[in-house]
Protein backbone atom coordinates (compact mmCIF):
# COMPACT_ATOMS: atom_id res chain seq x y z
CA UNK A 1 0.00 0.00 0.00
CA UNK A 2 0.98 3.64 -0.31
CA UNK A 3 0.59 5.32 3.05
CA UNK A 4 1.64 8.72 4.37
CA UNK A 5 4.12 8.33 7.23
CA UNK A 6 4.82 11.19 9.63
CA UNK A 7 7.63 11.45 12.16
CA UNK A 8 7.25 14.07 14.87
CA UNK A 9 10.55 15.10 16.44
CA UNK A 10 11.68 17.71 18.92
CA UNK A 11 12.94 20.01 16.16
CA UNK A 12 11.16 18.95 12.97
CA UNK A 13 8.06 17.16 11.70
CA UNK A 14 8.80 15.10 8.59
CA UNK A 15 6.56 13.19 6.24
CA UNK A 16 6.73 11.12 3.06
CA UNK A 17 4.60 8.70 1.10
CA UNK A 18 5.79 5.17 1.76
CA UNK A 19 5.39 1.93 -0.15
CA UNK A 20 4.72 -0.40 2.79
CA UNK A 21 5.58 -3.55 0.78
CA UNK A 22 9.23 -2.64 0.28
CA UNK A 23 9.72 0.12 2.87
CA UNK A 24 10.74 2.70 0.26
CA UNK A 25 9.80 6.36 0.48
CA UNK A 26 8.06 7.09 -2.83
CA UNK A 27 7.95 10.85 -2.49
CA UNK A 28 10.38 13.53 -1.40
CA UNK A 29 10.52 14.02 2.35
CA UNK A 30 8.82 17.23 3.44
CA UNK A 31 9.86 18.84 6.74
CA UNK A 32 8.23 21.58 8.79
CA UNK A 33 9.93 22.87 11.97
CA UNK A 34 8.19 21.70 15.14
CA UNK A 35 6.14 24.68 16.36
CA UNK A 36 7.24 26.44 19.55
CA UNK A 37 5.67 25.96 21.99
CA UNK A 38 4.75 22.46 20.76
CA UNK A 39 1.22 22.53 22.13
CA UNK A 40 -1.46 20.08 20.90
CA UNK A 41 -3.22 22.86 18.95
CA UNK A 42 -0.04 24.09 17.24
CA UNK A 43 1.14 20.56 16.37
CA UNK A 44 -2.29 19.56 15.06
CA UNK A 45 -2.19 22.58 12.71
CA UNK A 46 1.24 21.50 11.48
CA UNK A 47 0.02 17.94 10.84
CA UNK A 48 -2.92 19.31 8.84
CA UNK A 49 -0.49 21.50 6.85
CA UNK A 50 1.67 18.46 6.00
CA UNK A 51 -1.29 16.35 4.92
CA UNK A 52 -2.50 19.23 2.72
CA UNK A 53 0.98 19.62 1.24
CA UNK A 54 0.80 16.01 0.00
CA UNK A 55 -2.88 16.45 -0.93
CA UNK A 56 -3.28 13.05 0.71
CA UNK A 57 -6.46 11.11 1.45
CA UNK A 58 -6.12 7.77 3.21
CA UNK A 59 -4.77 6.22 6.38
CA UNK A 60 -1.81 7.96 8.04
CA UNK A 61 0.84 6.58 10.39
CA UNK A 62 2.47 8.92 12.86
CA UNK A 63 5.44 8.45 15.19
CA UNK A 64 5.13 10.64 18.28
CA UNK A 65 7.89 11.47 20.81
CA UNK A 66 6.12 10.28 23.98
CA UNK A 67 4.85 7.17 25.66
CA UNK A 68 1.69 6.26 23.74
CA UNK A 69 -0.96 4.05 25.22
CA UNK A 70 -3.90 3.16 22.97
CA UNK A 71 -3.51 6.38 21.01
CA UNK A 72 -3.11 8.60 24.09
CA UNK A 73 0.09 10.44 25.12
CA UNK A 74 1.13 9.51 28.63
CA UNK A 75 4.36 11.52 28.99
CA UNK A 76 5.71 14.82 27.66
CA UNK A 77 9.46 14.99 28.21
CA UNK A 78 10.43 17.11 25.18
CA UNK A 79 7.03 18.41 24.12
CA UNK A 80 4.53 20.72 25.78
CA UNK A 81 3.31 19.39 29.12
CA UNK A 82 -0.32 19.80 28.05
CA UNK A 83 0.04 16.70 25.83
CA UNK A 84 -0.32 14.33 28.77
CA UNK A 85 -3.60 12.40 28.47
CA UNK A 86 -4.43 13.88 25.06
CA UNK A 87 -5.83 11.29 22.64
CA UNK A 88 -3.36 12.03 19.86
CA UNK A 89 -5.06 9.73 17.34
CA UNK A 90 -8.39 11.44 17.81
CA UNK A 91 -6.93 14.96 17.67
CA UNK A 92 -4.97 14.32 14.46
CA UNK A 93 -7.80 12.33 12.85
CA UNK A 94 -10.26 15.13 13.50
CA UNK A 95 -8.06 17.90 12.12
CA UNK A 96 -7.03 15.98 8.99
CA UNK A 97 -10.33 14.19 8.34
CA UNK A 98 -8.31 10.94 7.83
CA UNK A 99 -7.64 7.96 10.11
CA UNK A 100 -4.36 8.68 11.89
CA UNK A 101 -2.67 5.82 13.76
CA UNK A 102 -0.08 6.88 16.34
CA UNK A 103 2.80 5.04 17.98
CA UNK A 104 5.96 6.04 19.80
CA UNK A 105 8.59 7.49 17.41
CA UNK A 106 11.37 5.10 18.45
CA UNK A 107 9.01 2.11 18.21
CA UNK A 108 8.23 3.24 14.65
CA UNK A 109 11.94 3.41 13.79
CA UNK A 110 12.46 -0.02 15.40
CA UNK A 111 9.73 -1.60 13.27
CA UNK A 112 11.22 -0.15 10.10
CA UNK A 113 14.79 -1.20 10.87
CA UNK A 114 13.66 -4.70 11.80
CA UNK A 115 11.69 -5.18 8.59
CA UNK A 116 13.75 -3.25 6.04
CA UNK A 117 16.97 -2.04 7.67
CA UNK A 118 19.86 -3.05 9.92
CA UNK A 119 17.76 -5.57 11.88
CA UNK A 120 16.47 -7.47 8.85
CA UNK A 121 16.53 -11.21 9.40
CA UNK A 122 17.83 -10.84 12.97
CA UNK A 123 16.48 -13.30 15.49
CA UNK A 124 17.19 -12.85 19.18
CA UNK A 125 17.11 -9.55 21.04
CA UNK A 126 17.59 -6.28 19.13
CA UNK A 127 17.65 -2.93 20.91
CA UNK A 128 17.34 0.23 18.83
CA UNK A 129 18.24 3.50 20.54
CA UNK A 130 17.47 6.81 18.84
CA UNK A 131 19.71 9.70 19.80
CA UNK A 132 18.23 13.14 19.30
CA UNK A 133 16.61 15.76 21.49
CA UNK A 134 15.80 12.83 23.79
CA UNK A 135 16.74 9.16 23.74
CA UNK A 136 14.12 6.76 22.42
CA UNK A 137 14.16 2.98 22.55
CA UNK A 138 12.61 0.03 20.73
CA UNK A 139 13.14 -3.47 22.09
CA UNK A 140 12.54 -6.38 19.75
CA UNK A 141 12.65 -10.11 20.22
CA UNK A 142 12.47 -12.70 17.45
CA UNK A 143 11.04 -10.14 15.06
CA UNK A 144 8.40 -8.79 17.46
CA UNK A 145 8.37 -5.31 18.94
CA UNK A 146 7.90 -5.00 22.70
CA UNK A 147 6.52 -1.43 22.70
CA UNK A 148 6.80 1.55 25.06
CA UNK A 149 10.10 0.71 26.71
CA UNK A 150 11.24 4.35 27.18
CA UNK A 151 14.83 3.40 28.13
CA UNK A 152 15.93 7.01 27.70
CA UNK A 153 14.11 7.64 30.94
CA UNK A 154 15.79 4.91 32.92
CA UNK A 155 17.71 6.23 35.94
CA UNK A 156 21.37 6.57 35.15
CA UNK A 157 24.28 8.49 36.72
CA UNK A 158 21.99 10.26 39.20
CA UNK A 159 19.52 11.47 36.57
CA UNK A 160 17.70 9.93 33.62
CA UNK A 161 19.79 8.60 30.74
CA UNK A 162 18.70 11.19 28.15
CA UNK A 163 19.92 13.98 30.42
CA UNK A 164 23.33 12.31 30.40
CA UNK A 165 23.92 11.43 26.77
CA UNK A 166 21.29 12.73 24.34
CA UNK A 167 22.38 14.75 21.32
CA UNK A 168 20.77 17.79 22.94
CA UNK A 169 23.05 17.41 25.99
CA UNK A 170 26.08 16.87 23.73
CA UNK A 171 25.41 20.15 21.93
CA UNK A 172 24.46 22.10 25.05
CA UNK A 173 27.67 21.11 26.80
CA UNK A 174 29.83 21.48 23.66
CA UNK A 175 31.07 17.88 24.03
CA UNK A 176 33.50 16.43 21.53
CA UNK A 177 32.48 13.17 19.82
CA UNK A 178 35.07 11.42 21.97
CA UNK A 179 33.65 12.75 25.21
CA UNK A 180 30.08 12.04 24.16
CA UNK A 181 30.99 8.62 22.70
CA UNK A 182 32.53 7.56 26.00
CA UNK A 183 29.44 8.71 27.86
CA UNK A 184 27.14 6.92 25.46
CA UNK A 185 29.28 3.81 25.82
CA UNK A 186 28.63 3.77 29.58
CA UNK A 187 24.91 3.87 28.92
CA UNK A 188 25.21 1.18 26.24
CA UNK A 189 27.05 -1.07 28.70
CA UNK A 190 24.29 -0.56 31.21
CA UNK A 191 21.66 -1.48 28.62
CA UNK A 192 23.71 -4.55 27.74
CA UNK A 193 23.86 -5.63 31.37
CA UNK A 194 20.06 -5.36 31.62
CA UNK A 195 18.93 -6.86 28.30
CA UNK A 196 21.89 -8.74 26.73
CA UNK A 197 20.91 -7.81 23.17
CA UNK A 198 22.50 -9.54 20.20
CA UNK A 199 22.42 -6.31 18.26
CA UNK A 200 22.21 -2.60 19.08
CA UNK A 201 20.97 -0.30 16.32
CA UNK A 202 21.73 3.40 16.73
CA UNK A 203 19.13 5.65 15.14
CA UNK A 204 18.10 9.31 15.12
CA UNK A 205 20.14 12.18 13.71
CA UNK A 206 23.37 10.75 15.23
CA UNK A 207 23.14 7.61 13.08
CA UNK A 208 24.50 9.73 10.19
CA UNK A 209 27.66 10.50 12.21
CA UNK A 210 28.22 6.94 13.42
CA UNK A 211 31.85 6.72 12.27
CA UNK A 212 32.75 9.70 14.47
CA UNK A 213 32.01 7.82 17.71
CA UNK A 214 31.80 4.11 16.87
CA UNK A 215 35.41 3.52 18.07
CA UNK A 216 34.36 4.47 21.60
CA UNK A 217 31.55 1.91 21.79
CA UNK A 218 32.81 -1.21 23.51
CA UNK A 219 30.12 -3.79 24.18
CA UNK A 220 29.84 -7.51 23.45
CA UNK A 221 26.85 -7.11 21.16
CA UNK A 222 27.19 -5.91 17.58
CA UNK A 223 26.46 -2.19 17.14
CA UNK A 224 25.18 -0.89 13.79
CA UNK A 225 23.91 2.49 12.65
CA UNK A 226 20.31 2.57 11.46
CA UNK A 227 20.31 1.77 7.75
CA UNK A 228 17.26 3.85 6.94
CA UNK A 229 18.92 6.71 8.84
CA UNK A 230 16.34 9.22 9.93
CA UNK A 231 13.69 8.06 7.47
CA UNK A 232 13.12 4.99 9.67
CA UNK A 233 10.46 6.75 11.77
CA UNK A 234 8.42 7.71 8.70
CA UNK A 235 8.61 4.22 7.18
CA UNK A 236 7.78 2.46 10.45
CA UNK A 237 4.83 4.77 11.08
CA UNK A 238 3.37 4.02 7.64
CA UNK A 239 3.77 0.25 8.19
CA UNK A 240 2.16 0.56 11.61
CA UNK A 241 -0.86 2.32 10.06
CA UNK A 242 -1.21 -0.53 7.59
CA UNK A 243 -1.23 -3.05 10.45
CA UNK A 244 -3.98 -1.09 12.22
CA UNK A 245 -6.32 -0.61 9.27
CA UNK A 246 -9.69 -2.12 9.98
CA UNK A 247 -9.07 -2.23 13.73
CA UNK A 248 -10.56 1.24 14.38
CA UNK A 249 -8.99 4.06 16.41
C1 LIG B 1 10.52 10.40 24.92
C2 LIG B 1 10.34 9.15 24.09
C3 LIG B 1 10.84 9.38 22.69
C4 LIG B 1 12.27 9.90 22.72
C5 LIG B 1 12.79 10.21 21.33
C6 LIG B 1 11.98 10.84 24.87
O7 LIG B 1 12.16 11.99 25.61
O8 LIG B 1 10.16 10.14 26.26
O9 LIG B 1 8.99 8.78 24.07
O10 LIG B 1 10.78 8.17 21.99
O11 LIG B 1 12.34 11.06 23.51
O12 LIG B 1 12.02 11.16 20.69
pLDDT in tens, 178-196: 999 999 999 999 999 999 9
Question: What is the rounded CA–CA span in Å between residue 153 and residue 106?
Answer: 13
Ligand 1: nearest atom to the Cα of 137: 10
Ligand 1: nearest atom to the Cα of 68: 9
Residue 249 — very low, low, confident or very high, per pLDDT cuts 50/70/90?
Answer: low
Question: What is the rounded CA–CA span in Å between residue 202 and residue 75?
Answer: 23
Helix axes 105-116, 232-244, angle to 10 degrees: 90
Q: Which residues pair with 68 in a beta bridge?
A: 73
Question: What is the rounded CA–CA span in Å between residue 190 and residue 155?
Answer: 11
Distance 104 CA to ligand 1 centre (A): 8
Cis peptide before 37 (omega within 30 of 0): yes
Q: Which residues pair with 73 in a beta bridge?
A: 68
CB-CB neighbours of 173 under 10 Å: 10
Domains and CATH numbers, the chain: 2-104 (3.30.420.40), 118-227 (3.30.420.40)
Q: pLDDT tens-digit profile of 57-76? A: 999 999 999 999 999 999 99
Mean per-residue pLDDT of the chain: 96
Question: What is the rounded CA–CA span in Å between residue 62 and residue 18?
Answer: 12
Atom 11 of ligand 1: nearest residue by CA position = 134
Contact 91, 106 (CB under 8 A): no
Q: pLDDT tens-digit profile of 41-60? A: 999 999 999 999 999 999 99
Which residues of the chain form beta strands (DSSP E)?
2-8, 12-19, 24-25, 30-33, 60-64, 68-69, 72-73, 100-104, 125-131, 135-141, 144-146, 155-156, 159-160, 199-203, 222-225
Distance 148 CA to ligand 1 centre (A): 10
35-58 exposure pattern, b = at least 16 Cβ within 10 A, e = fewer: eeebbbeebbebbbebbeebebee
Residues having CB within 6 Å of any atom of ligand 1: 65-67, 75, 77-78, 104-106, 130, 132, 134, 136, 150, 152-153, 162
Q: pLDDT tens-digit profile of 7-41? A: 998 889 999 999 999 999 999 999 999 999 999 99
What is the sign of the dihedral through the CA atoms of 88, 244, 12 and 68? positive
Amino acid sequence: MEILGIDIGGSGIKAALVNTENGQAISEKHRIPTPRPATPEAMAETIAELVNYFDYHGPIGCGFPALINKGTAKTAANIHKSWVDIHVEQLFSEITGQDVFVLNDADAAGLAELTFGAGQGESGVVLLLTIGTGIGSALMHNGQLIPSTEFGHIEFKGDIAENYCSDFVKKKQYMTWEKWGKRFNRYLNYMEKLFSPDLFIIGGGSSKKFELYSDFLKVNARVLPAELLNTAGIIGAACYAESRIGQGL
